[in-house]
Amino acid sequence: ARPCQIRPLDLVFIIDSSRSVRPGEFEKVKIFLSDMVDTLDVGETTTRVAVVNYASTVKIEFYLKTYFNKADMKQAIFRISPLSAGTMTGLAIQTALDSAFTVESGARPKIMNISKVAIIVTDGRPQDKVQDIAAQARAIGIEIYAIGVDRADLQSLKLMASHPLEDHVFYVETYGVIEKFTSKFKETLCAGLDICALGNHGCEHICVNAQGSYFCKCHPGFTLNADKKTCSKEVRAVITVENPCKCESLVAFQKNVNTIIQTLHGK
C-alpha cells in the first residue's frame, strides 16, 4: 500500500486480547495492525507507533521509541501473544497515558506539535470505568478512535472516542472484515492533509490545497505554464488607439480659451 503522507503522528494501538477474542481472531487483529503500519509513513521524524495489549492485565508490547522501520515493527506485531481473561479497557487507556504517550517512551514534546492518536480495538464491554480516563486523555490532546467488533458495547465506544463520533467510532461485524477500517481510517486521517505545507508540491508561486490533492496558481501578471507548476510573466501587446474625440475636444477647448481671452481684452 502507498504510504499515507499525513501529518506526523505519535500513534498508540490499544488492543483487546481477552478470552472472547479467539486465537484465529487475534491473528486477524495482528494482520490489521500490520496493514495499518503499511499505510503509514513510519519513521523517527514522521509517524511513531506503539502497541498496548490488554485483558485483565496490560502489557506494552513496544514503545514509540522502539522501532522506526516497518519491517522490525511488523515482526514485533506478529510476535504478540494474547493475555487471556478480562477486559480492563480503562486500565489500558490509563497505562497508555502514563507509560506510552510519555516523552521518555518516545512521544515527541508538546512544543513540536505532533498529533497524538490512540486506536482502541475491542470486542467486549469494559469491566472498569472508561469515561473519566478517556476524557482525561482527550483533554490533553489525544485523539481517540474506537473500533468495536462483533459483541462490542457501542455505548462504551462512544464514551471513549473523540468527537465528532461519526468520524471516530467504527463497528465491524467480525474480525475477518476489520481490514475495512484500514482504508476508512486512512481516508479520515488524510482528509485534512495539507499537501502545500509539506513543501514538496513543486508550485513556483502559490500552492492551493484541494480535497487531499492540490493545484498551483500564479501571482497577478503571470500565467501558469503547461507543466501546471511554473509561471511565466504575461506578455501584453500594447496597441495605440487614436481617440476620435481627442481633436474635437482640443478644438473646443481652444475656442473656449480664445473666447475668454477676447472677453478679458474687451474689458
Q: Each residue of 44-87: pLDDT tens digit?
A: 998 999 999 999 999 999 999 999 999 999 999 999 999 878 88
Tell the residue number behind the cell numbers 522501532, with chain if given: 67
Provide the pLDDT confidence category of residue 1 given band limits of 50, 70 and 90.
very low
Is 60 exceeded by the pLDDT of residue 267? no
CA dihedral 212, 213, 216, 220 (to 10 degrees): -30
pTM beyond 0.85: the answer is: no
Strands 115-122 and 58-62, by their bridges, are unpaired
| pLDDT at res. 157 | 92
Say yes or no: do domains 9-191 and 192-266 share a fold: no
| pLDDT at res. 241 | 55
pLDDT, one tens digit per residue, over 209-251 is: 765 567 899 998 899 999 989 999 887 665 555 555 556 666 6
Question: Exposed/middle/buried for 81, CB within 10 Å: 0-12, 13-18, 19+?
Answer: exposed
CATH topology classification for 9-191: Rossmann fold (3.40.50)
Proportion of the chain above pLDDT 70, given as a percent = 84
Domain locations in the chain?
A: 9-191, 192-266
Closest CA to 152 of 179, 123, 190, 172: 123
How far apart (Å, rounded) are the C-alpha atoms in residues 144 and 67? 22
Tell the residue number behind the cell numbers 486506536, with chain if given: 119
Superfamily of domain 192-266: Laminin (2.10.25.10)
DSSP 8-state class, residue 162 = P
Range in 20-29, 195-204, 213-222 with the lowest mean pLDDT: 195-204
Residues 6+ apart with CB under 8 A from 95: 52, 54, 58, 60
